[in-house]
Amino acid sequence: MSPTPEVYRSLLRLSAPVVVVQVGMMAMGVVDTLMVGRVSAADLGAVALGNLYWFSTVIFGQGTLFALDPLVSQAVGADDEPGVARSVQRGLLLALVFGAVAVILLALAEPVLRALDQPPDVVPIAAGYCRAAMGGTLPFLGFVVFRQALQAAGVLRPIVVTVLAANVLNAALNWVLVFGHAGAPALGAVGTGWASSASRWVMLIGVVGLAWPQVGPWLRRRPEAFRPAPVLRMVRLGLPVGLHMGAEYGAFAITGLLMGTLGTIAVASHQITLNLAALTFMVPLGVSQATAVLVGRAVGRGDPDGARRAARAGLTVGTGFMVVSAGLFLAVPDLLARAYTDEPGVLALAVRLIPIAGVFQIVDGLQVVAAGTLRGVGDTTVPMFAGLLGFYAVGLPIGFALSRTEGAAGAPGLWWGLAVGLGAVAAFLLLRVWIRFRGALERLEIDEVAPSVG
């Protein structure tokens, strides 16, 4: 059945602030890149590698914590406040575990990047960035827990205000630490790592403080929340989400590492293109999270038809935005690239890569909203396999084969591989949505079995 105007209004009311949050978080990376791009190509490449490595250490934990989307949204739909609290406390426990693992991996950044044959002039700076960003890892994952829970509960203002404040702080600290203003040393790329860590602490403390009326009851002691069996069920639910997100990010990370073998110019141009693509991707990612929440609430309150309408609305809105952004990438790549750099070599290659990124914008929007739609009903395993097959059996082999030309000339081939991989993932997930939403929809319950509602 077709979504009603009210469904679209509900989606837009929820997704608009979620998109602001996603864009705000991405904007921190854009500011880092814009400022460091004025220092040197080596520093710009270091932010590319360092940020890539940092996210590779947290993406799995972040994705696993997205199990909160169906658990909390369905509990909200069922008016099950104790269920919300148990899920939040379990999420914080998992955030602590994943954060500790990430910190250990960040400490090993320099030898790992050297072993991966990254540019010698970039590796020490990138490792310094990772060490500086290390202190923001645990607060980032803690923020993810509260963000997902508050989004599912429809409490969005504290998240928006906190992320906007963190952006202001990040920009100010970048100005001070990257260029050495206000008596501080000029740290270049490493300064962006320190700025990011401070901003992530502000995000965690700010969201808890501003949302304390909602968060406080969730944090009251509930010993049953930490029983091993439900925690493990939550891990099993979130694990495929983490693997799916890790597979996608890993494909981009491997592409970045392969780009590193093509030289500093290729790495810097790749970072500019990736920044632009990731920034526009934040909009369908926000729509995806909003769709997961609306689908989950509908399932929780016993309204499977409402879940189906929310799914269709999300796919329509997410794809529509990416059609517009694809047109922008294809029409004015030079204008977009010049916002980041004026170095001729980097600029020339970025202008070639940006239109390719425009091609996969549409399928990128489709696949992320489809994944969110499925997550709303707790369907996480099939999207994981779709990501693994689409990227690693299709996209990366094609990209690698197309990129085997001399120097930076091979960079477009890697991006064409990403485009094909995203198309394959989108096709798999849309088929799964069609199959899954034709059947019965059940509320997830990791403490006890819930009845079918559709």
pLDDT in tens, the chain (454 residues): 677 788 888 898 898 898 898 888 878 887 888 888 878 888 888 888 898 889 889 998 999 999 999 999 999 999 889 999 999 999 999 999 999 999 999 999 999 999 988 888 889 999 999 999 999 999 999 999 999 999 999 899 999 999 999 999 999 999 999 888 888 888 888 899 999 999 999 999 999 999 999 999 999 888 888 888 999 999 999 999 999 888 887 788 788 878 888 888 888 889 889 888 888 888 898 899 999 999 999 999 989 999 999 999 999 999 899 999 999 999 999 999 988 888 888 898 999 999 999 988 889 899 999 999 999 999 999 999 999 999 999 999 999 988 886 555 688 999 999 999 999 999 999 999 999 998 888 888 788 544 444 4
Per the structure block, which two tokens stand in for 395?
């996209």
Let me know if residue 276 belongs to a domain: yes
What's the domain range around 378?
5-436
Q: What CA–CA distances, in Å, run from 108 to 112, 115, 345?
A: 6, 11, 32
Let me know if residue 453 belongs to a domain: no
Let me know if residue 451 belongs to a domain: no
Q: pLDDT (tens digit, 9 = 90+) per residue, 168-218?
A: 999 999 999 988 888 888 888 889 999 999 999 999 999 999 999 999 999
Q: What CA–CA distances, in Å, run from 262 to 117, 127, 257, 333, 394?
A: 11, 20, 9, 22, 22
Let me know if residue 405 belongs to a domain: yes
Let me know if residue 263 belongs to a domain: yes
Q: Which amino acid is at 378?
A: G
Name the domain count of the chain.
1
Let me know if residue 454 belongs to a domain: no
Let me know if residue 450 belongs to a domain: no
| Helices and strands of the chain, counted as H and E runs | 19, 0
Let me know if residue 442 belongs to a domain: no
